[in-house]
Structure 1
């Protein structure tokens, strides 16, 4: 049977990515939906992008754009390196590109530029890096930045999950537009969890691969979780990135 798997934030951890994909053991008709933040963290950000570009030639993939990807894209296009980016992994990402040619960097830029900000499948399941704020869904979002920076969607789902039953009158309007929502951006480590978390119809698949957690994938139908080892253990001489 064809599977669709959502994959959390990679943050330059190529070793974790390769290990996870080997454990997924994807078949030709499987679809992999990556939830963004491919760069900034461990030392192989540019190498992650190169690997994913090659991997997508033989596997159906959708690459959602995250906030760290926006920063890297801007740097590749205009060599902009704002302090906030450098402080949260950008410095290491720039270093990872030292052996890449201009043409290779240009190809990476095109890869970033082609990334959608969200994806909605034929069962009204939304895949997005962070969230959105419009009560009318992503199509009515006023600020594009919310797609890759917003945390209020997840925060709201966490709080409401305690008090709201499915189809209740007070079920949050923002969530009613989609059967399920799959996000990254906010590490589940913040809530002392190392596996994907569910709150109402929102699944958070960022299990903190940038820090002390594993890289995770979830089969969106069966809800089977597949994980790498903790990515930190694969880069024992590195520190990862600062939280943001």
Structure 2
């Protein structure tokens, strides 16, 4: 089976329990993690370490989210403690302070090389998984006037990766433009409780894309750890 999950935010126990619930097999199954493994929760670094063996065997892949970018900027000295804590990085900072210089350098290299999207096949056809979606000011068109999703993502990331990872523009795009996407999109980044009219934690489905960030770090607001099963076209909740 193939699964997609996003915005786990350091919820390592819940993530392990979810893997147990879906009977995840590192040989048989595949999982794409669409960014934001880090921050908000206290065990983002530990979660990456837990996932690393799955990455090495090819059964899991982490994409870059804005919180991985925050951590990179913190390690780079571009983000100070106070600001990073405001962004939800307090738990991550505690973990980093326990790491050796070499371990932090290895983490930096790992985060720096995270891909920003992954292409898969779903019932919706050719599909692109990415953290935030699209940037409205960087849309690339095909000759037939459809929107080239991959080229638009690559161009936005090349111009300003930070802004791209923070963008929520896809949720404000006109229906006309969403109908012109040449590939379906699966995104995270914005908790679905902020998108669904009933403020539920059900995945948000719209023309041309779906959002699967079910608010793992916002349990008090009805959020939950969950993953999307590609074959079943359904969200599985812990």
Q: TM-score range by the shorter chain?
A: 0.7 to 0.9
1:223 paired to 2:219: no
Q: Secondary structure at the match of 1:70?
A: helix
* TM-score where L is the length of structure 2: 0.80
Output aligned runs, 1:21-170, within 5 Å: 21-27=19-25, 28-78=27-77, 80-81=79-80, 83-121=82-120, 124-133=126-135, 134-136=138-140, 137-140=149-152, 141-142=155-156, 143=159, 144-156=161-173, 160=175, 170=176
Aligned length: 213
Please, which moves more after superposition, 4-13 or 216-225? Answer: 216-225
Q: What is the aligned partner in structure 2 of residue 198 from structure 1?
A: 205
* TM-score where L is the length of structure 1: 0.79
Which of 187, 191, 210 does residue 191 from structure 2 map onto? 187
* More RCO (CA 8 Å, sep 6+): 1
* RMSD after superposition: 2.1
Q: Secondary structure at the match of 1:54?
A: helix
Structure 1 stretches of at least 4 aligned residues deviating more than 3 Å after TM superposition: 77-80
How far did 1:35 drift? 0.6
| Structure 1 unpaired stretches of 5+ | 161-169, 229-244
How far did 1:14 drift? 0.9
Say if 1:34 and 1:61, in contact at 8 Å, map to a contact too.
yes
Please, which moves more after superposition, 73-82 or 8-17? Answer: 73-82
